[in-house]
Structure 1
Amino acid sequence: MASIRKRGDTYQIRVSVGYDVHGRQIIKTKTWKPEPGWTGRRIEKELNKAAVRFETDVTTGHYVDGSIRFEEFAEKWMKEYAEKNLRPKTIARYQMLLSRIYPAIGHIKLEQLQPLHLMEFYNNLGEAGIKRAEICQPLVDIDMERKKQNIAKTELAQKSGASYSSVVNACKGLNIRRDSAEKIVKALGLQWQKSFQIIKNQEKLSSSTVAQHHRLISSIMEAAVKWGYVLDNPCRRVQSPKVTTKKGVTLSSEETIRMFSCLADAPEKYRTAITVLVYTGLRKGELCGLKWTDIDFAKGILNVNGGLEYLPSIGLYQEAPKTENGKRSIKLPKTALSVLKEHKCLQTEDRLKLGDRWKDTGYVFTKWDGSPMHPDSLYQWFSNFVKRNDLPPITLHSLRHTNASLMIANGIDLATVSKRLGHADTSITARIYTHAIKEADAVAADALENLFLRDRKA
């Protein structure tokens, strides 16, 4: 039977549900507060009703402990679910999103979280300056400071815990995030005040980033419903923030030919890497994660078995594909096979020259000593290459889009395109490449029109 304790102007209802494995009694509690102006008799009557309802809910398994605060439950969800089921990069991304979520709604109890709280938070995320004072400008030559201490950029990234791209940008004198700047300063033993200055940032978060916050909160609250903490997920009653999609930058066939012409004078390793990306549509991590055992030169097949990823907390690590379709085999054209064969011969020469100093990792794309090439180093090289050669503002990932768009434009069926890209299903491919599909459809319509006109004239 439920017991009742008076605590100031509230009452605590307690119900025992047995004992745990250590013999300790398990007590479920609920705080009840009477409405202002109620008489003693009314309070006693309503309190007894509440006690009976609470005891019934507990004994029938319908009791939900929504008094836990959002931050406390989210941390529990991260530990019990996310860290056991999700990929390291996803977990790192969630932790970054939660750093914004907690100050806004972390203090609110699950049972009190309302759609209005969420809408106010999303509106705030869309305002200018939400990134606050995260951007810093170097006041000293970071590259010179690291050279004084004989620290390689990769080593500085690992030692500091900052991303490799942040280290590269700092060495170039470019602005970087404050948390990365603080890590780099600490690793180099420099004084913060003399090394960086904070720049007020008026940049807005992208609409897709705002939507990511919503999806994460919704996932956490959905788990709260399933785990019996609350009966309702307030995110269901909030319209997801609208995502403004932009057409990805791709190269036309003429622009791709021009890029290949510019690559003629590029270092062989990078020339080969970019060529393979264009011909296969691989992701950056998938390319850097390739091993020679993944390539069947006799059959002309490239097998994708995962990718090379990087996190400051882990370093470089090999990761399996997200889905079964991500693990795939791609037929290579003669050009891609040819440059890979040449690259393997040159790498063998380097291995023989270095002897014991060569690290036999088996990766296709490596640093000078055979250790795996950092994905961010390829990204940085290509970014500089694009600027030097006055190419359209493309990134490494644009080459994947270029590959897909060129296949669609040349009449390759969507199922084949989707399979080569490693998408979970064709609907993803159709959604991403809607513009390319429409253009191909328009070309097909014009081709039919020209065919019928030609027939009529004949």
Structure 2
Amino acid sequence: MTIQKRVSKKGEVSYLIRVSLGYIGDQQIIKSRTWKPEKGMSPKKIEKEVNRQAVLFEEQAKQDYAEELQRKAEQMEQDSDDIEYRKRHTTFKSLAEEWIDLQEASHEMKNSSILRMKSCRERTYSYLGKVLVSKLSYHKIQKFITSLGQTGVNKKTGAGLSEKTQKHYLTFVSDVMYYAKKCRLIDESPCKDIVFVKENDLDKKERNIYSLEEAKLVLSAIDEKAPTGFKLFYNLLAYCGLRRGEALGLEYKDIDFENSILTINRTSNYHIGYGTYTDTPKTKNSYRSLYIAPKLLEMIKQLQTEQKDIAKKCGDQWQESDRLFVSWCGKPLSPNFPYKWLQRFCERENIPFHGLHAFRHFVATQALVDGVDAKSVSAMLGHSQTSTTLNIYAHAVRQAQTRALNSIAAQLESG
């Protein structure tokens, strides 16, 4: 125990009493309090009283600390009993539902990520739902992931689920098991080193992509025959390489008309059972600004004027959203609609249809073949890493490298 006299700038005297209550490991447990003498007390009385206060404080501190340790011990025992109970009764399904509820309440996870988790529940619960979390082994999880890649699991194609989809399922299981570890239901997650079922080369679909000639043909037909909104939408995909959800999430406040710049701030998505919803861009790098060609800027201005006229005609039925792409009453356009519209349009006009993402592949491939560096293309596409761009568009990168090396060779060999 120590007593330290203190004098403030105003001349007021106080005493700091510090008591040691022992050690926890290398850390000393210290309790302290300040005592101020009453006015008019003599130095002798102050000395006697401060010593008395110090003794009283030490006794009380030791008693309080002993009671605190007892409460902690009882709580640890209770917690241990609770944990043991949960280990014996908590199934994967019950903990997974608890985990999903927590994510929805905390708003820390993207809406699209939560919806993807929910879409994994049916198959996962069918295989792992009744298994106790404390008994869930690496072998059981590996068998589940392997089963997803077997022929017939994908009801649409008759094949197994793709490796990418298998990884979504493992992410769901892994997140729940990490939560189980935080809850002290398991010591280590059994989800490490899981092997995925590779797709058969015959089952793989070749990446759809528009050639330059095809892109010109499709856009020419659209510019000639489509309404302004559809003309703008497909031209945005073909000129800027936007993802479908990024284009549908655009609002007029995202357009800098003076500097011809659009900014990606949100996405508009669709999920079966949940309908259309707004979310954040796919990755941190997906927040980006892109140049708008004069042709696109004029389309945007024209569309804005047309929508104002439509809003007046709709009156109270019009729902203001500030979105560029809306339904007849102003509501954000359904993300499924542009695909179906273009598919029908191409069939009617007898022109190539490769889907919407093919425009994005076209932009990336054309830029790389034309010699734009991979880092710039990656930033334009909103990829999280340049390596992603290089992996997806390896063929285009090789083409650009071959052309560059042939150019150098030609210069070296010229007379």
Structure 1 portions without partners, runs of 5+: 1-15, 32-62, 136-200
Report the counterpart of residue 257 of structure 2 in structure 1.
297
For the residues of structure 1 that align with 2:294 and 2:169, how far apart are their CA atoms?
45
Structure label with greater radius of gyration? 2
**Corresponding residue for residue 160 of structure 2:** 204
Task: Find the aligned partners of 1:75 and 1:362 in 2 and give their Cα distance.
Answer: 36
Question: Following superposition of structure 1 onto structure 2, how do residues 55-454 of structure 1 map, counting pairs within 5 Å?
Answer: 65=87, 68-81=90-103, 84=106, 85-131=108-154, 202-242=158-198, 247-263=206-222, 264-311=224-271, 314-453=274-413
Distance 1:109 1:226, change over 3 A: same
Given that 1:68 and 1:109 are in contact with CA atoms closer than 8 Å, whether structure 2 keeps it comes out as yes
Opposite residue 210 of structure 1, the aligned amino acid is Q
Q: How does 1:2-41 map to 2 (within 5 A)?
A: 18-19=74-75, 26=79, 28=81
Using a 3 Å threshold, how does the CA distance of structure 1 residues 18 and 386 change in structure 2: closer, same or farther? farther
Provide the C-alpha distance between the structure 1 equivalents of 2:311 and 2:82, rounded to a whole number of angstroms.
69
CA distance in 1, matches of 2:274, 2:129: 28
Give yes or no for contact 2:146–2:196 (8 Å, CA) kept in 1: no
Q: Distance in 1 between matches of 2:184 and 2:81?
A: 13
The percent of aligned pairs where both chains have the same amino acid is: 28
List per-residue Cα deviations over 1:180-199 (Å, max 9, x = no partner): xxxxxxxxxxxxxxxxxxxx
Q: Matched residue of 1:293: which SS?
A: helix
Partner deviation per Cα, 1:425-457 (whole Å, 9 max, x = no partner): 32222222222222222222233233334x2xx
Cα deviation, 1:342-399, whole Å, max 9, x if unaligned, reads: 3233333434444555433222122223332222111211222233344445111221
- Cα pair 1:300 1:333 within 8 Å, conserved: yes
Partner amino acid, structure 1, of 2:146:
N
**2:188 match: secondary structure:** coil
Q: TM-score, normalised by structure 2?
A: 0.72
Separation in 2, partners of 1:425, 1:75: 33
In 1, Cα distance between equivalents of 2:277 and 2:82: 46
Moved more, 400-409 or 348-357: 348-357
1:312-362 per-residue CA deviation (whole Å, 9 max, x = no partner) reads 555433322243322221111222223223323333343444455543322
Separation in structure 2 between the aligned mates of residue 237 and residue 409 of structure 1, nearest angstrom: 37
Q: 1: distance between equivalents of 2:196 and 2:292?
A: 41
> What secondary structure sits across from 2:191 in the alignment?
helix
Say which is worse superposed, 93-102 or 214-223, in terms of deviation: 214-223
SS class of match (1:303): strand
Unpaired stretches in structure 2, ≥5 consecutive residues = 1-71
Kept after mapping to 1: 8 A contact 2:87/2:132:
no
Deviation at 1:239, TM superposition (A): 2.3
Deviations 1:133-169 (A, max 9, x none): xx7xxxxxxxxxxxxxxxxxxxxxxxxxxxxxxxxxx
Alpha-carbon contact 2:242-2:360 (below 8 Å) kept = yes
In structure 1, the residue corresponding to 2:98 is in which secondary structure?
helix
1:16-44 alpha-carbon deviations (Å, 9 max, x no partner): 95249xxx95561798xxxxxxxxxxxxx
Amino acid in structure 2 at the alignment position of 1:28: D
The answer to whether the 8 A contact 1:249-1:393 is kept is no
- Equivalent residue of 1:316, what SS? strand
What is the total number of aligned residue pairs between the two structures? 339
Offset from partner CA, 1:234-280 (integer Å, 9 cap, x none): 22143244367755211121111111222122233212210111111
3-state SS, counterpart of residue 303 of structure 2: helix
1-structure distance, mates of 2:398, 2:228: 37
Which digits, 9 at most, give the CA deviation of each residue in 1:410-439, with x for residues without a partner? 112222222222222322222222222222
The alignment partner of 1:232 has SS state of: coil
Task: Measure the CA separation in 2 of the matches of 1:202 and 1:247.
Answer: 17
Q: Could you tell me whether the CA contact under 8 Å between 2:263 and 2:287 is conserved in 1?
A: yes
- Contact persistence 1:67–1:111 (CA under 8 A): no
Question: What TM-score results when the alignment is normalised by the length of structure 1?
Answer: 0.66
Contact 1:122 1:210 in 2 (8 A): yes
Bigger drift between 112-121 and 257-266 goes to 112-121
* Aligned-partner Cα distance in 1 for 2:134–2:80: 20
Letter in 2 for 1:108: V
Query: Structure 1 pair 218/246, CA: closer, same or farther in 2 (3 Å)?
Result: farther
Query: Match of 1:28, SS?
Result: helix
| Contact 1:71 1:107 (C-alpha < 8 Å) held by counterparts | yes
Aligned mates of 2:371, 2:315 — CA distance in 1:
49
Distance (whole Å) between structure 1 residues aligned to residue 304 and residue 411 of structure 2:
47
Pairwise CA distance, 1:111: 3.1
Give the Cα–Cα distance (whole angstroms) in 2 for the partners of residues 357 and 104 of structure 1.
Answer: 48
Cα separation, 1, equivalents of 2:187 and 2:89: 12
Equivalent residue letter for 2:163: S
Q: Is the contact between residue 266 and residue 279 of structure 2 (CA under 8 Å) also seen in structure 1?
A: yes
Q: Which amino acid aligns with 2:168?
A: Q
Q: Which residue of 2 aligns with 1:58?
A: none
Q: Alpha-carbon deviation of 1:122?
A: 2.6
